[in-house]
Amino acid sequence: MKVYLDHSATTGTDPEVLQQMLPYFSEQFGNGSSQHFYGREALRAIDLAREQVARAIHATPNEIYFTTGGTESDNWAIKGIAQSLRHKGDHIITSAVEHPAVLETCRRLEKEGFRVTYLGVDGDGAIDPRALEDAIDDRTILITIMTANNEIGTLMPIREIGAIARAHGVVFHTDAVQAIGSVAIDVKQMGIDMLSMSAHKFYGPKGVGVLYKRNGLRVGRFMDGGEQERSMRAGTLNTPGIVGMGAAIERAIAHMDDNNARNAALRNYFVEQVLARIPDVRLNGPADWNRRLANNANFSFEYIEGESILMCLDLAGIAVSSGSACSSGSLDPSHVLLAIGVPIESAHGSIRFSFGKSNTKEQVDYVLDKLVETVERLRAMSPLFQYVQGEQKYV
Ligand SMILES: *Cc1c(COP(=O)(O)O)cnc(C)c1O
């Protein structure tokens, strides 16, 4: 059996979405900037996708800018504001649990003389709106806080953050890459000035994303060159990718409640079974399901390494992620787990399971059996576990 439980790392393009993309690779290959009918046909398809994306977050089409993905959108939003508002201030507020696309961009700006406040989070991974308000000073130009966390699924208090940002006249950007398709977003109601998203996280193609930018907000341009995207983001548009993104977001919004209900049912069952069948395990992130993405579960298995669990599950045909996919390859413990107070040893033994459309109850039962077996086997080989067991005998 093959089981994919890594939907937060990426999803496969929906077959119906792919069908809609295909003509734009070949017969309808026109450049959206060309004035002849090839170009007009591409432009028509791009305009439709722009409307689909705008509708999904209650924006207007001229507030949508196509990019190459979440990383580019985050870079553009943060560096763009730093550039356009440098005369007003030099202070940026973010959280300690952001995706590297945000954290590393902020670190870069620090090297260029900006001050960055990395707000700490509570044990569930959420920032405290009061701490945010306290951190704002008269040089603050940007608040960038994610809508939902990619490792532990925490939903941030976006409405409150939006209201605070508005009250203080500070620009608010949110990385909503994990939230699109799982959380209803209304940029106007929520006070969001800029928002990043990425198609491959909601069953669209890789390499295409969007930055939403509120009309009237001045942001430095990201890519110099031609006049694409109202001269804000140069480069020939990726027509097939954009068509796929539009189709995928429309489907994601239309099926959001069904998908969330299915994911939550599988996830809740999985969590309940893991806690019942495996001793010395800790659920990371909110236990209150209303404060968490419906498809996310993250556990620390004491006394063993997440990397070893991942490899054993991989041999059994099960795909999961240790820490975050972006930091795997490095053995540093997850910055998110450390920020919520998970001890370093436990953070090393952590695995993210992220559910999605392809998963079934039968698959979850298979994963549970393999996981129980794997944890037992690894613990039997773990000197630390042996030592703790030995100690307990003499208490
Ligand atoms: C995946 C992800 C990104 C990066 O998006 P790409 O399109 O892969 O560059 C950024 N932020 C979050 C929260 C993510 O989960």
Other Cβ atoms less than 10 A from the Cβ of 108: the count is 15
Burial class (CB in 10 A: 0-12, 13-18, 19+), 179: buried
Q: Is 326 a catalytic residue?
A: yes
Distance between Cα 198 and ligand 1 center (Å)? 7
Distance between Cα 177 and ligand 1 center (Å)? 6
Catalytic residue, from 131, 326, 338, 388: name it.
Answer: 326
Say what the pLDDT of residue 389 is: 83
SS3 151: coil
- Rounded distance between C-alpha atoms, residue 140 and residue 28, angstroms: 46
Sheet holding 194-198, edge to edge: 64-67, 209-213, 194-198, 171-175, 140-144, 91-95, 115-119
- Nearest partner of 221 among 46, 81, 68, 62, judged by Cα: 81
Say what the pLDDT of residue 346 is: 94
Distance between Cα 160 and ligand 1 center (Å)? 23
Q: Which DSSP string corresponds to 93-132?
A: EEETT--HHHHHHHHHHHHTT-EEEEE---TTSPPPHHHH
Say what the pLDDT of residue 324 is: 46
Give the phi and the psi of residue 142 in degrees, each rounded to 5: -150, 140
Nearest-atom number in ligand 1 for the CA of 10 is: 1
Say what the pLDDT of residue 325 is: 44
Say what the pLDDT of residue 104 is: 98
Residues whose beta carbon lies within 6 Å of some atom of ligand 1:
69-71, 99, 101, 146, 150, 175, 177-178, 198, 201, 209
Give the phi and the psi of residue 197 in degrees, each rounded to 5: -145, 165
- Rounded distance between C-alpha atoms, residue 192 and residue 145, angstroms: 11
Which residue ranges in the chain fall short of pLDDT 70?
323-331, 392-395
Distance between Cα 138 and ligand 1 center (Å)? 31
- How far, CA to CA in Å, does 149 sit from each of 175, 187, 194, 294, 367? 9, 18, 17, 12, 24
Query: Atom 8 in ligand 1: which residue has the minimum CA distance?
Result: 70
Q: Does this model's pTM top 0.85?
A: yes
Say what the pLDDT of residue 306 is: 95
